[in-house]
Structure 1
Amino acid sequence: MASIVKRGKSYRAQVSLYKHGHHKKLTQTFSTKKEATLWALEMELAKGEGKELAYRTTTFADFFESWIYLVKVNDVKETTFQNYVRTLGVIRTLFNDIQLKDLNDIVVQKKIDEYAKTHSRKTTHEVLLKIKTSLRDAYARGYIPNDFAHLVKTRGVNPPKRNKALSITDFKKLRNYLLQHPKDEFHLLVLLALETGMRRGELLAIRPDNLYEYGIKVRYSIRPTSDDTSLKTQNAKRDISINKEVYDLIINIPVKENGYIFDFNSFHQSKLLSKLLEELNIEKTTFHGLRDTHASFLFAQDIDIAYVSQRLGHVNIQTTQNYYLQLMPEKKHQQDADALNLLNSL
Structure 2
Amino acid sequence: MASIIKVGKKYKVQISLFKNGQQKKLIKRFNTKAEAELWALEMELEKGKGKQLSTRETYFPEFFEDWLYLIKQKDVRESTFYNYTRALKEIKLLFHNIKLKDLNDVVVQQKIDHYSKTHSKKTAHELLLKIKTALRYAYAKGYIHTDFLYLVKARGKATPKRNKALSITDFTKLRKYLLNHTDSEFNILALLALETGMRRGELLGIKPKDLFEYGIRVRRSISPNSSDTLLKTENSKRDVSINSDIYHLLKKIPTKSNGYIFETDNFRQAHRLKQLLKKLELPETTFHGLRDTHASFLFSKGIDIVYVSKRLGHCNIQTTQNYYLELMPEKKHQQDADALNLLASLSNEEI
| Deviations 1:94-148 (CA, angstroms, capped at 9, x unpaired) | 1112111111111111111212222222222222222122212212212122222
Partner of 1:185: 185
> How big is the shift at 1:150?
2.0
Partner of 1:118: 118
- 2-structure distance, mates of 1:157, 1:150: 21
Q: Equivalent residue of 1:251, what SS? A: helix
Is 1:50 equivalent to 2:58 in the alignment?
no
- 2-structure distance, mates of 1:15, 1:309: 57
Q: Equivalent residue of 2:101, what SS? A: helix
The 8 Å contact of residues 17 and 25 in structure 1, kept in 2 or not, is answered as yes
- 1-structure distance, mates of 2:316, 2:107: 39
Query: Where in structure 2 are the equivalents of 1:1-346 lying within 5 Å?
Result: 1-6=2-7, 10-345=10-345, 346=348
Q: Equivalent residue of 2:252, what SS? A: coil
Cα gap change, 1:104 to 1:257, in 2 (>3 Å): same
Gaps of 5+ in 1: none
- 1-structure distance, mates of 2:28, 2:226: 44
Q: Equivalent residue of 1:26, what SS? A: strand
> How big is the shift at 1:268?
1.8
Cα gap change, 1:171 to 1:6, in 2 (>3 Å): same
| Deviations 1:35-86 (CA, angstroms, capped at 9, x unpaired) | 4444344334433443211111111111111112222222223332222222
The 8 Å contact of residues 4 and 37 in structure 1, kept in 2 or not, is answered as no
TM-score, scaled to structure 2 = 0.91
- 2-structure distance, mates of 1:21, 1:343: 78
Amino acid corresponding to residue 210 of structure 1 in structure 2: D
Higher mean alpha-carbon deviation, 116-125 vs 99-108, is at 116-125
The 8 Å contact of residues 4 and 36 in structure 2, kept in 1 or not, is answered as no
Cα gap change, 1:273 to 1:42, in 2 (>3 Å): same
The 8 Å contact of residues 274 and 285 in structure 1, kept in 2 or not, is answered as yes
- 2-structure distance, mates of 1:161, 1:303: 24
Higher mean alpha-carbon deviation, 234-243 vs 101-110, is at 234-243
Gaps of 5+ in 2: none
- The count of residues paired between Structure 1 and Structure 2 equals 345
| Deviations 1:4-53 (CA, angstroms, capped at 9, x unpaired) | 2525x555433332333312222233444554444344334433443211
> How big is the shift at 1:319?
2.4
- 1-structure distance, mates of 2:135, 2:246: 51
Cα gap change, 1:331 to 1:21, in 2 (>3 Å): closer
Higher mean alpha-carbon deviation, 201-210 vs 178-187, is at 178-187
Q: Equivalent residue of 2:15, what SS? A: strand
TM-score, scaled to structure 1 = 0.93
- 2-structure distance, mates of 1:17, 1:99: 17
> How big is the shift at 1:224?
1.3
Q: Equivalent residue of 1:111, what SS? A: helix
Cα gap change, 1:238 to 1:47, in 2 (>3 Å): closer
Q: Equivalent residue of 2:260, what SS? A: coil
Cα gap change, 1:28 to 1:326, in 2 (>3 Å): same
- 1-structure distance, mates of 2:242, 2:267: 25
Amino acid corresponding to residue 201 of structure 2 in structure 1: G
- 2-structure distance, mates of 1:49, 1:289: 53
- 1-structure distance, mates of 2:278, 2:16: 66
- 2-structure distance, mates of 1:183, 1:282: 21
- 1-structure distance, mates of 2:241, 2:264: 23
- 2-structure distance, mates of 1:23, 1:307: 62
> How big is the shift at 1:258?
0.7
| Deviations 1:220-264 (CA, angstroms, capped at 9, x unpaired) | 111111222111122222222222222222222221111111111
Amino acid corresponding to residue 92 of structure 2 in structure 1: R
> How big is the shift at 1:269?
1.3
Cα gap change, 1:109 to 1:195, in 2 (>3 Å): same
The 8 Å contact of residues 256 and 263 in structure 2, kept in 1 or not, is answered as yes
- 1-structure distance, mates of 2:274, 2:5: 65
